[in-house]
Chains A and B, each alone.
Chain A
Amino acid sequence: MSRQTNRGTENKKMNSELFTLTYGALVTQLCKDYENDEDVNKQLDKMGYNIGVRLIEDFLARSNVGRCHDFRETADVIAKVAFKMYLGITPSVTNWSPAGDEFSLILENNPLVDFVELPDNHSSLIYSNLLCGLLRGALEMVQMAIDVKFVQDTLKGDNVTEIRMKFIKRIEENLPAGEE
């Protein structure tokens, strides 16, 4: 029991370079496997989604964050708790839409791209697209349907990296079919 009992609170630190380089190798391989960047983007998103639906459980177990009551609270938790916990950075939350259903995460330094230079022939590749799928998958598990995309990227010459998050709807829980 010893290993598992302590895991909840203890924070396993790991060299982020290993992660960054592994991610780089993954993207490189995908670029070899698929003919065009669109397909690579799609695969990264899909992989991210699959990670997100599991990562959310780890996050909830470790952070003791309960249900969020509004999207602003969600934004805060993502930026200040989740990004900090998994990537060691704290993006800023800005550009709220008047309706409060859209905001941006500004990443000053994206750890995924530490050693990357995008070659010219991959202009439509969204290098860190895994993050979009991840955010979407994780939030879907807490009943929020969200649209996530990169709107600025330092890899493409922008000053900052900006992820735009748009709230689509609350996913209602239903009684499974076959029950009255």
Chain B
Amino acid sequence: MTVHNLYIFDRNGVCLHYSEWNRKKHAGISREQEYQLMYGMLFSIRSFVNKMSPVDLRDGFLSFQTSKYKLHYYETATGLKIVMNTDLGVGNIRDVLSQIYSTIFVELVVKNPLCNLNEPIQSELFRTKLDSFVRGLPFFSARAG
């Protein structure tokens, strides 16, 4: 099992953070374009899922998978979006994403008054903690992929 990469978007679609671990293939467009493309797709999936659902939704869009990877999606009530791509062997990781939100993002970004909330995160501490958290996940493995 493996973790490919992770995006954090704010409620306005700004990509606050991006990091990658095992990414073999790149999009062939600029990072900025990639973020926009990703956010646009998430936005559409979200409204698609909400409109198409035949019953009332609680959590909305959770994940999708292709033949090669799985995209996990977590959104808070404030509109913060955490997106993690893994391989297909990884199950439901809602609790992992919510932990990234509550123990890393809130503690190191929201509670740091020097971190502006609607621009990309500059904090080195945040990066380090996030990186070591993800590397410590049971389904993180550098050799797989």
Q: Which residues of A contact B (CB under 8 A)?
A: 1, 4-5, 7-8, 53-54, 56-58, 60-62, 65-68, 141-143, 173, 175-176, 178-180
CA distance A173 to B99 in the complex (A): 25
CA distance A31 to B77 in the complex (A): 36
Contact pattern, B 12-24, Cβ under 8 Å of A = 1, otherwise 0: 1110000000000
Residues of B in contact (CB 8 Å), total: 31
When the two chains form their complex, are residues A53 and B129 in contact, meaning their CB atoms are under 8 A apart? no
A66 to chain B, nearest CB (A): 6
A74 to chain B, nearest CB (A): 11
CA distance A60 to B117 in the complex (A): 16
When the two chains form their complex, are residues B102 and A8 in contact, meaning their CB atoms are under 8 A apart? yes
A146 to chain B, nearest CB (A): 15
* B108 CB contacts on chain A under 8 angstroms: 4
CA distance A58 to B99 in the complex (A): 12
Q: Is B73 an interface residue (CB 8 A)?
A: no
When the two chains form their complex, are residues A57 and B132 in contact, meaning their CB atoms are under 8 A apart? no
Across the interface, name the chain B residue whose C-beta is closest to A141: B78
When the two chains form their complex, are residues B103 and A5 in contact, meaning their CB atoms are under 8 A apart? yes
When the two chains form their complex, are residues B103 and A175 in contact, meaning their CB atoms are under 8 A apart? no
CA distance A176 to B106 in the complex (A): 24
Chain B interface secondary structure, helix, strand, loop or mixed?
helix
When the two chains form their complex, are residues A176 and B78 in contact, meaning their CB atoms are under 8 A apart? no
When the two chains form their complex, are residues B103 and A143 in contact, meaning their CB atoms are under 8 A apart? no
* B107 CB contacts on chain A under 8 angstroms: 4, 7
* B101 CB contacts on chain A under 8 angstroms: 61
Q: Is B48 an interface residue (CB 8 A)?
A: no
When the two chains form their complex, are residues B77 and A176 in contact, meaning their CB atoms are under 8 A apart? no
When the two chains form their complex, are residues A173 and B76 in contact, meaning their CB atoms are under 8 A apart? no
CA distance A65 to B98 in the complex (A): 12
Stretch of B35-43, B64-72, B85-93, B137-145 at the chain-chain interface: B35-43
29 contacts between A and B (CB under 8 A): A1-B129, A1-B132, A1-B136, A4-B104, A4-B107, A4-B108, A4-B129, A5-B103, A7-B102, A7-B107, A53-B117, A54-B110, A56-B78, A57-B80, A57-B110, A58-B111, A60-B76, A61-B106, A62-B102, A66-B58, A141-B78, A141-B79, A173-B11, A173-B79, A175-B40, A176-B14, A176-B39, A179-B13, A179-B40
